[in-house]
Structure 1
Amino acid sequence: MTQENAPDLAPLAERARAPRLLTLPSAETGLTWRALDVGDVQELHALFARVESHDNPPYRTTLEEAAETFQGDWKDAPNNTLGGFDPAGTLQAYGTVTAQPGDVRSVRAFLEGGVDPDWRRRGIGSAVLRWQVDRSRQVLAASGKDVPGRIVVHVEDGMTDSVRMLTEQGFSPRRWYTEMRRDLNLELPAVKLRSSLDLVPWSAELDDQVRLAHNESFRDHWGSEPHTVETWQEGRTYFAPTWSFLVLDRTSDRAQVAGYLLSGRYEQDWDSLGWTEGYIDILGVRREWRGQRIATALLARAMAAYREDGMEYAGLGIDTDQPTGAFGLYGNLQFEPTRGSTMYTIEV
């Protein structure tokens, strides 16, 4: 039985076991600790660059993405961020906690953090993580929603120190993610949709209908929660409208969104990946329209757009409840796995 359908849960405010006060990492770390604010964006971006240069993940964070840390009132940066500064005023460690306001079936607190490579192995990362877990428990307890709670950290494969630290603090592996790519030199599938289904470019006028369609489509997916208008717009810095498409059902006078594919253009990642790609951020088909090859048609159209713009590959990520999950539709379309990551959680 999963926690999502477990009966008779105690109130989340009790289950969260939230501390009344938070304890900052000690002065013995050699850093001074305070909340981050928008004025720290340049320092935060510089720290991201040092960490990513050392750890070499398959992505690079831009200044614009660093600024997203503070965008959205629900982020509550004064209470949900922590930065450690050295005596020269340079940011050497950080941690954030983010809870999405639209969560209804469960309440999730997402943790992100990092320590400059020169400041590692001093207990700083563990101290930041303890603060994040305690703050997450406060956030869950204050949500007022008596549903399952979850504290979440995503870890790229190969980050053994992070896994050890998470395990020591009570996290367990919960879901596994696989990044995949598809060579655009390969022949694309030809799909003919029935006459009432119209594959069209994404448009801003239809975007909120896409949001509602997504909330409906993913209602039965593990861990998915509905997007509010605000959270739907989060992380759109590198959204690629010309690579994004919809399938509309025009059976009735008012066209309905039956399926959708939204793409991102993450040029900052291409050097670390070693190839250029169009990235499929979101793909969904509403239940009533499943089984009609709508997803395949959307993928084929998006991949054609990527190829027309000179991309070498199409990329996407899938999640499973096992380390080696079936690739289904994507495997059939000749997508191949490239790397993986794991979601670690504390279930509350």
Structure 2
Amino acid sequence: MSFEAPSQAMPDADATGLQWRPATMDDLDNWAGLIARTAAVEHPAWHEKRGDLVHILESSKNPPRTSTLLGLDSGGMARAYGRISKNPRGDKATGMACVDPEWQQRGIGSAVLVWQEEQVRRRFQADEAAGHTTAPPRIRIQTEEQHEQQATLLLGHGYGTVRWFNEMHRPLSASLPEVPLGAGLELRTLDPTLFESVRQAHNDAFRDHWGSEPRDEESWRFTIEEPTARHDLSAVVLDSDTGEVAGYQLTSFDPDAASDRGFKEGYTELLGVRRAFRGRRIAQALLADAMRRYTDAGMDVASLDVDSANPTGALELYLGMGYAPVNRSMTWEKML
């Protein structure tokens, strides 16, 4: 499904000292370079790489012409970027952005944020006109607790925190847990024949999770084909009688992050158990299996992120498996 909107209003070139336009495939190296320079100074736990940007530019639900913004200096170097993302039937949009450290404190971050808010308003108007949603426009932005400058910017524009998340690590040098699966369940390594059934299981498992929306084929393809995805380190638990997916664990590994952070981590991107199968220690078995896969792959740490108010008690589950919080992030929200 595609989205058409009125041409976007760009930030003021005279006020910001930058020329603004949507991102294109020709900008990939320039754009990725901007993000890498910013990450080298700000040290986020994760940042977008070139492969992630390719996925962004390939989106039909969020066409780059109306969903991305690049600010270029007089020499054509990318110094700032912003983007928005929204599911047509969703009740929120999300925003991502960064400003080159050498160009911060010039009002450019505010200019990008104002652009994001205006594009979100336009997107909600277009989706309402198409009969997709009647929700009021809302934007959410994620920041890490350490980035106080970003928090100050968002507070100044009327945002408030609505959720906290914990990044958690589990050293693999410690004794690994043994959690066998119960009768009638079997574990398989993720492979392409399971992609669609795992998508459906994910939508079922995350129905009661805050901020989660059903993932269609396109958004799931971006998840499964994410450049750092490691299917060999991911696993699915099946009902032995029906072949139904009971639970799943999707892993990524970023070798660049390993160089930056000084350790190799297997990161659990998604862990879900369908409602009908909860209470059978499937999540624990998947995590224990993941730890062994990570250890065999030469990794140092198992890591994941968890919503501090997760309704399924995930935080307690992870603590019980030996994970400990190492970093916090927050979700900011503004009703437009």
Give the TM-score of the pair, scaled to structure 1: 0.88
Say whether 1:138 aligns with 2:129: no
Which residue number in structure 2 is paired with residue 33 of structure 1? 20
Q: Distance in 2 between matches of 1:289 and 1:34?
A: 49
Question: 2:269 aligned with 1:290, yes or no?
Answer: no
Residue number in structure 2 paired with 1:250: 240
Percent of paired sites with the same residue: 35
In 1, Cα distance between the equivalents of 2:330 and 2:45? 15
Matches of 1:81 and 1:60 in 2, distance apart? 16
Q: Distance in 2 between matches of 1:129 and 1:233?
A: 28
For the structure 1 residues 266 and 247, does the alpha-carbon distance in structure 2 shift closer, same or farther, using more than 3 Å as the test?
same
SS at match of 1:296: helix
Q: CA deviation at 1:262?
A: 0.7
Cα separation, 1, equivalents of 2:188 and 2:75: 54
1:226 is displaced (CA, Å) by 0.2
> CA 1:284–1:136 in 2, change beyond 3 Å: closer, same or farther?
same
Q: Which of the numbers 33, 36, 43 marks the counterpart of 1:46? A: 33
The number of residues matched between the two structures is 324
Q: How far does residue 205 in structure 1 lie from its aligned partner after superposition?
A: 0.5
The letter for the 1-side match of 2:74 is: P
Amino acid at match of 1:309: A
Of 145-154 and 331-340, the range deviating more from structure 2: 145-154
What's the CA shift for 1:60?
4.8
Equivalent residue number for residue 299 of structure 1:
287
Q: Is the 8 A contact 2:7 2:66 kept in 1?
A: no
Shift of 1:20: 9.9
Which letter maps to 1:43? N
Q: Of 90, 97, 109, which aligns to 2:93?
A: 109
Deviation at 1:222, TM superposition (A): 1.0
Residue 100 of structure 1 contacts residue 231 of structure 1 at CA under 8 Å; is this kept in 2? no
Distance, in Å, in 1 between the alignment partners of 2:126 and 2:158 is: 21
CA–CA distance in structure 1, aligned partners of residues 309 and 231 of structure 2: 31
Following superposition, the deviation at residue 21 of structure 1 comes to 6.9
Instruction: Provide the C-alpha distance between the structure 2 equivalents of 1:93 and 1:185, rounded to a whole number of angstroms.
Output: 41
- For 1:7, the equivalent position in structure 2 comes to none
In structure 2, the residue matched to 1:343 is 331
**Where does residue 305 of structure 2 map in the other structure?**
317
| Distance of 2:328 and 2:334 partners within structure 1 | 20
Give the whole-Å Cα distance in 1 for the aligned partners of 2:335 and 2:16. Answer: 29
Aligned partners of 1:19 and 1:137 also within 8 Å = no
Residue of structure 2 equivalent to 1:91: 78
CA distance in structure 2 between the partners assigned to 1:265 and 1:114 by the alignment? 23
Find the partner of 2:182 among 194, 206, 209.
194
> How far 1:274 moved relative to its partner?
2.2
Match of 1:66 in 2: 53
Cα contact 2:10–2:20 (8 A) shared by 1: no
Deviation at 1:310, TM superposition (A): 1.0
Backbone CA RMSD of aligned residues = 2.0
AA in 2 matched with 1:116? D
Q: TM-score, normalised by structure 2?
A: 0.91
| One-letter identity of the residue aligned with 2:30 | E
Question: Which structure is higher in RCO with an 8 Å CA cutoff and minimum separation 6?
Answer: 1
In structure 2, the residue matched to 1:15 is none
How far 1:164 sits from its partner (Å)?
A: 1.2
Shift of 1:26: 4.0
In structure 1, the gaps of 5 or more residues are 1-17
